[in-house]
């Protein structure tokens, strides 16, 4: 009898606990949230929510291409406002895909589910220049939203204003990407679900007609040649290394850094500006061979392996720069092994003192 009495008490206690902790779930009314009227300069998005059963909503017809065009026009309006050249809207295989991937977590990330950074995705898609990416995911994963084309446009306008005029919390990172003078193209990805909206902007500077797209041969020769569409002075080539990317879980994607950079020191755990592992330069001496010059220069370099190009041929005209560069990078391959080697060409356009990175091309070894 005593055992039955104790069992009854335990049963009552368990029932009470279950009801206590699941009361909200049992009696919860699903809600639907609507975006309040949003001004571009508003501090944040505000939603008004109501029980879903209390409203009757017709399916919304939303034109994704119209949203992309609208975002594109806002970008060019800001670039014109600040005296920069307008961009050309392009399509590629990865920008929209990345926007759609971000909906699974409703969190901003520059890494893809396959572990690729923006310039890696760009290179796999056949990118021929350089890329800078802005990403933002807006909304919350716990509140269901009712989006209309107009409300999404308001979010796009708010995001654009925030990235250009209110980007101080990000140290003006997004703003610098948006207004970078050398960009000439942009691809835009926009996606949404019942909970959030993702916006991806991939800015491209594409100025090289390639004769030999950057490649690393089986005997570890880096080869590249082509024609830059303006006259400039090629300074050097940086090479960054990263281990071969691996797929990431949703939890890993949700905890990635809020910005990205090149090289192995910028990982999914933390991101600091990395030093290149290799730096290819023309031979500055007429008296020393490339091998002897490398020995001299690498005595002074503690982190980056300096390589003196076996071939560094540059020809100039009034409006073009033709180049052919090759070098043996066995020292890098032996030191770091298989992985991703990203090639960044630094050049100084005529009539300017600014040296720019004209490529962000990754080679998978």
Q: Return the domain boundaries, the chain.
A: 32-51+61-205, 208-364
pLDDT of residue 114: 97
pLDDT of residue 18: 46
pLDDT of residue 9: 56
**Regions of the chain with pLDDT less than 50:** 8, 10, 12, 17-25
Tokens standing for residue 359: 């490529």
- C-beta atoms surrounding 202 within 10 Å: 27
Longest Cα pair distance anywhere in the chain, in angstroms? 104
Q: Find all residues with CB under 8 Å of 149, minimum gap 6, and list them.
A: 60, 61, 62, 63, 66, 67
In contact, 129 and 206? CB cutoff 8 Å: yes
pLDDT of residue 260: 95
pLDDT of residue 56: 83
Q: pLDDT digit string (tens) for 265-313? A: 999 999 987 789 999 999 988 888 888 788 878 876 678 999 999 999 9
pLDDT of residue 359: 98
Q: pLDDT digit string (tens) for 69-109? A: 999 999 999 999 999 999 999 999 899 999 999 999 999 99
Distance of CA 134 to the CA centre of its chain: 6
158 closest CA partner among 270, 44, 240: 44
- C-beta atoms surrounding 342 within 10 Å: 23
Pairing of strands 232-242, 278-281: antiparallel
Q: Looking at the domain that runs over 32-51+61-205, which CATH code has it been given?
A: 3.40.33.10
DSSP class of residue 155? H
Tokens standing for residue 101: 């991937």
pLDDT of residue 319: 92
Cα four-point dihedral sign 263, 264, 267, 270: negative
pLDDT of residue 27: 52
DSSP-based helix, strand, coil % in the chain, nearest 5: 30, 30, 40
Q: Find all residues with CB under 8 Å of 283, minimum gap 6, and list them.
A: 290, 293, 308, 309, 312
Distance linking the first and last C-alpha atoms of the chain: 75
In contact, 145 and 49? CB cutoff 8 Å: no
In contact, 263 and 276? CB cutoff 8 Å: yes
In contact, 258 and 281? CB cutoff 8 Å: no
Directed axis angle between helix 64-81 and helix 149-165, to 10°? 30
């Amino acid at each position: 009898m005593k055992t039955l009495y104790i069992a009854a008490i335990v049963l009552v206690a368990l029932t009470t606990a279950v009801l206590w902790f699941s009361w909200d779930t049992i009696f919860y009314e699903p809600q639907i949230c609507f975006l309040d009227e949003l001004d571009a300069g508003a501090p944040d998005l505000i939603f008004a929510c109501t029980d879903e059963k209390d409203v009757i909503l017709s399916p919304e017809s939303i034109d994704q291409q119209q949203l992309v065009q609208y975002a594109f026009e806002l970008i060019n309006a800001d670039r014109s406002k600040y005296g920069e050249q307008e961009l050309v809207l392009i399509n590629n295989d990865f920008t929209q895909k990345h926007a759609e991937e971000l909906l699974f977590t409703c969190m901003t990330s520059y890494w893809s589910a396959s572990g690729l950074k923006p310039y890696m995705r760009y290179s796999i898609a056949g990118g021929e220049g350089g890329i800078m990416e802005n990403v933002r995911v807006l909304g919350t994963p716990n509140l269901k939203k009712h989006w209309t084309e107009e409300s999404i446009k308001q979010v796009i306008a708010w995001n654009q204003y925030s990235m250009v005029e209110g980007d101080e919390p990000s140290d003006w990172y997004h703003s610098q990407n948006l207004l970078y003078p050398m960009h000439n193209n942009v691809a835009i990805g926009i996606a949404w679900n019942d909970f959030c909206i993702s916006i991806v902007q991939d800015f491209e500077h594409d100025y090289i007609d390639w004769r030999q797209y950057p490649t690393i041969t089986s005997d570890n020769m880096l080869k590249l040649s082509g024609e830059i569409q303006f006259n400039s002075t090629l300074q050097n080539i940086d090479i960054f290394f990263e281990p071969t990317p691996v797929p990431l879980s949703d939890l890993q994607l949700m905890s990635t850094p809020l910005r990205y950079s090149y090289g192995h020191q910028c990982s999914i755990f933390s991101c600091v500006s990395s030093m290149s592992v290799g730096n290819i330069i023309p031979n500055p001496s007429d008296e020393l061979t490339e091998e002897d010059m490398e020995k001299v220069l690498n005595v002074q370099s503690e982190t980056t392996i300096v390589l003196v190009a076996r071939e560094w041929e540059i020809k100039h005209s009034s409006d073009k720069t033709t180049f052919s560069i090759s070098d043996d990078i066995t020292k890098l391959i032996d030191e770091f092994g298989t992985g991703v080697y990203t090639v960044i060409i630094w050049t100084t356009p005529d009539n300017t003192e600014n040296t720019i990175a004209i490529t962000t091309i990754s080679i998978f070894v």
